[in-house]
Amino acid sequence: MGAMRRMEAAKGAIISLLLDAYQKRNKIGMIAFRKDKAELILPFTSSVELGEKLLKDLPTGGKTPLADAFIKSYEVFDREIRKNPNIIPIMIVISDFKPNVAVKEDYVKEVFDACEKIAEKGINVILIDTEPQSFIKIGIGKEIANRFGFKYYKIEELSKDKILDICKSLEINF
């Protein structure tokens, strides 16, 4: 499956998740990370329409500022958890997990430091790895999942229903 088809499959699954969240009156937020930084493009909201539009228009490819994405995600979740301590926070990260943009100097260490804070905060994390199957593995998604207890899936393993089932199982467990 080509990179564009993999990302389109992931976007379709997330749109299904947005619709499910809306029906349950859950909130969604979206952080895009590309070029040299991560940015909050959708603060937590119940608007499926806005989330769907932003997701469909979200460009893919290019650099992966993974450390900044995890740092920004932690900050956004931390604020939301402080406002609503009874929420079940679920973070879904869709990436090739090839960190190649540092916030300071060591981008792999920065990713691990941010993930440690996320794990300590009790945020449920699902990593969806879009890196193509090959003998040479550059991405660190599996290592992140193993180190911090996050759920990890290759995009090829997932369908829309599978992602919904994973999120529902997290909600039931709390």
What is the residue extent of each domain of the chain? 3-172
| Assigned token pair, 78 | 């931390």
Chain centre to alpha carbon of residue 165: 16
Specify the DSSP class assigned to residue 51: H
| Assigned token pair, 124 | 């449920």
CB 75 within 8 A of CB 114: no
What angle (nearest 5°) sits at the alpha carbon of residue 103, between those of residues 9 and 140? 45
Q: Report CA dihedral (36, 119, 116, 99) to the nearest 10 degrees.
A: -30
Q: Supply the pLDDT for residue 160.
A: 66
Positions of the chain with pLDDT lower than 50, given as ranges: 173-174
Q: Where are the alpha helices (DSSP H) in the chain?
A: 3-23, 48-57, 66-83, 107-120, 141-148, 160-172
CB burial of residue 101 (10 Å; 0-12, 13-18, 19+): buried
CB 54 within 8 A of CB 42: yes
Give me the architecture of the 3-172 domain, per CATH: 3-Layer(aba) Sandwich (3.40)
Q: Supply the pLDDT for residue 174.
A: 40
CA distances (Å), 132 to each of 25, 88, 103, 127, in order?
35, 31, 26, 15
Q: Supply the pLDDT for residue 121.
A: 94
